[in-house]
Structure 1
Amino acid sequence: MNGPRITIDVDEKPVVLEVRDLSVSYGKVGALHHLNLKINKGEIVTVIGPNGAGKTTLLCALMGLLPAQGEIVYLGELQGTERQVEKLVRQGITLVPEKRELFGEMSVGDNLLLGAFDRYRVGHRDELETMDQVFDIFPRLRERNEQMAGTLSGGERQMLAMGRALMAKPKLLMLDEPSLGLAPLVIKEIFRIIVQLKKTGVSILLVEQNAHVALQVADYGYVLETGEVSLEGPSSALADDPRVIECYLGLPGKPRLAR
């Protein structure tokens, strides 16, 4: 048969988020420069890099907290320049910020309910069922349900911040430095839960300075330096790259990152 041949990749996953030529500036100072990034459904994509590289700036731009130039395509639709946080949450994008930003004088349960507020406002009445699902993921939060958030340990606060984001039933969950300030055993538990969340079908954009743990759980990774992507690829390839090993893994001379 004559004519062009069409190849269909049956394993190709639908794209949840695609960022094209994204640039962000603080006044005249450029923070992100022509960044491209893609996240497929059910994937964990990590962005690693040093402090000041622009990792948090990227998340803030995606969440509509900073003006940006370029294209942001979410679920196949080009997003407009006027991106409002409430609308993005309603569309299925949530952010767990680095500082967690919990209400310390409110109970764990009330903090979780706040995560479902926008869904409640538009007519959904499944917040108690969703809370039970969050408690299944974070059993410790069930035990602390009546406790004030300000009295929780660092690991428990991170779990609560993640649980609150999940109350909005996101399609894309963005995590900013979830390991920050946590003990090694707690970090291990948090990242075990992140892998568990992936199995539910949610896509995860993981911004993390701890490249060792980030590359262990991610499917694909980007190395961000001074506002530009310097390297990208499958996480296993990045973990084997001598440049990543030397600069970010602190393992000079080690050929592989144990997976």
Structure 2
Amino acid sequence: MNSLLEVRGLSVGYGKVEAVRTLDLRVGEGQIVSLIGPNGAGKTTLMAALIGLLPCSGEVFYQGEPLLPHHDVAHRVGLGMALVPESRELFAPMSVEDNLCLGAFSRYRRGDRDYSGTLEEVFALFPRLKERRQQAAGTLSGGERQMLAIGRALMGKPRLLMLDEPSLGLAPRIISEIFTIIEGLRQTGVSILLVEQNARAALRASDYGYVLEVGELVLQGPAAELAEDPKVIETYLGRRATTTPTPQPA
């Protein structure tokens, strides 16, 4: 599988404090890749560096081409990268539809003024947003705000969608709905890098997974295998690993 995003030896720091150290990571075309770990592990820092919000060292390749320090957020969004931050960053007084249309701003700058078809695609994914298209974003429920944040990112027609804690603060039923939508996005050709504390939901939806602790990768592998790893089970899935008893001599 071809790499859409490849990270080699990435380090990110705040002053003298390294939040992420010499990290290697890969997202293949059409893949959902999850990054799990505890609070403070450096997951959000990594996402911010990849989209160009934080300086970093190391190498980042997107579609086989290097992303350089002077490639700012606007440049990366123009290349087809999109980040949905955990804070969602919606414009609360503006309507749902206006928030969505802002997601197509990079396309507008390139001269693409016809994004009505994409708007209808987003409404097909999130029927509740269509019902509330004239409603102020600030009046939506938590789940609806998350749908709006994802929908706004999709308006830019990204090839790589980075989701930072999409389940944060949501009820279990809504989390299940959000992850069903995330899995469905694979069919549209979008690749997804998913940062998530809900390890069970993340690994269930993903093809491959990484475990980040204190800024360093400690485990990686196919998501189905990580979900059966004893350390992942005990630390992140909230249950004890089961082991097969050793046969005793008669």
**TM bracket (short chain):** over 0.9
User: Structure 1 residue 112 and structure 2 residue 100: aligned?
Assistant: yes
Is it true that 1:169 corresponds to 2:161 in the alignment? no
What does 1:82-101 align with in structure 2 at a 5 Å threshold?
A: 82-101=70-89
Q: Give aligned-pair identity as a percent.
A: 63
Contiguous gaps of at least 5 residues in structure 2:
244-250
SS in 2 for 1:124: coil
SS at 2:227 equivalent: helix
Q: What is the count of residue pairs matched by the alignment?
A: 243
Equivalent residue for 1:146, pick from 116, 134, 146: 134
Query: Do the aligned residues in 2 keep the contact of 1:245 with 1:254 (CA within 8 Å)?
Result: no
CA RMSD for the aligned pairs? 0.8
Amino acid of the residue matched to residue 169 of structure 2? Answer: G
TM-score by length of 1: 0.93
Per-residue CA deviations over 1:139-169 (Å, capped at 9, x if unaligned) read 1100010000000000000000000000000
Residue range with higher mean Cα deviation, 170-179 or 122-131: 122-131
> What's the counterpart of residue 125 of structure 2?
137
Q: What are the within-5 Å matches in structure 2 for residues 193-212 of structure 1?
A: 193-212=181-200
Q: Which residue of 1 aligns with 2:29?
A: 41
In the alignment, what sits opposite 2:170? 182
Per the alignment, do residues 254 and 160 of structure 1 end up closer, same or farther by CA in structure 2, a change over 3 Å counting? farther
Shift of 1:87: 0.7
Tell me the distance in 2 between the aligned counterparts of 1:81 and 1:103: 29
Instruction: State the distance in 1 between where 2:82 and 2:58 align.
Output: 21
Name the SS for the 1:162 alignment partner. helix
Task: Using the TM superposition, give the Cα deviation of residue 83 of structure 1 relative to its aligned residue in structure 2, in angstroms.
Answer: 2.4
Shift >3 Å, 4+ stretches: none
Q: Map residues 54-65 of structure 1 onto 2, 5 A cutoff.
A: 54-65=42-53
- Following the alignment from structure 1 to structure 2, what is the Cα–Cα distance between the partners of residues 74 and 253? 37
Q: Does the 8 Å CA contact 1:108/1:141 hold for their aligned counterparts?
A: yes
Work out whether residues 21 and 70 of structure 1, in 8 Å CA contact, stay in contact via their aligned partners in 2: yes
For 2:206, the equivalent position in structure 1 comes to 218
Q: Name the SS for the 1:20 alignment partner.
A: strand
**Contact residue 22 and residue 68 of structure 1 kept, 8 A:** yes
Q: 1:253 offset after TM fit, Å?
A: 3.5
Aligned to 2:76, what secondary structure does the other structure show?
A: helix
Q: Deviations over 1:150-203 (max 9, x none)?
A: 000000000000000000000000000000000000000000000000111100
- Structure 1 gaps of 5+ residues are 1-12
- Give the superposition deviation at 1:121: 1.5
Q: Deviations over 1:30-74 (max 9, x none)?
A: 100000000000000000000000000000000000000000000
Residue in structure 1 matched with residue 10 of structure 2 by the alignment: 22
